[in-house]
Amino acid sequence: MLRKIQSKKIQGRGGVFAIVASNYNARYVDAMLRAARRELTRAGARVQVVRVPGAYEIPVVAARLARLASEDSGLSAILCLGVILRGATTHAQHIGEAVSAALAQIQILHEVPVIHEVLLLENEQQARERCLDRKHNRGTEAAQTALEMARVMAGLK
């Protein structure tokens, strides 16, 4: 069942957040990007957006940003936004698994929150629900998670 995004009162303000967003399936990714930026801006954060061709290219940029963040660039978290739609072959599954594994490795290696919203979806209906519908927009959810993780990580210093 698709879970509605809960409106959260955001604790803590400010911070610097990077969003790495795919150009592929732009209609859906752009909607998530707008929602994430809106949520981060509402919290008083600064936002840097980096666009890449597709979901598979997201991890290399996230890794570079995470390395810079671990060198004390002031980056609070990295949000990764993409949409992969399944087709007739297993290509989408391979891309999704590779991206997921890489993003997990990046955040552990660099100790920087990497928010994974590279969605592997069955069809365009799921993409519309998760990206275009304000009640379920995963960009909003990604921003809320990033803000919470930034707060958690700052508390560990």
Catalytic residue annotation: 91
The residue with tokens 């610097």 is 16
- To which residue do tokens 């949000």 refer? 79
Find tokens 């752009």 and name the residue: 30
CA 128 to chain centre: 17
Quote the CA–CA distance of 102 and 56 in Å, as a whole number: 10
Other Cβ atoms closer than 10 A to 41: 13
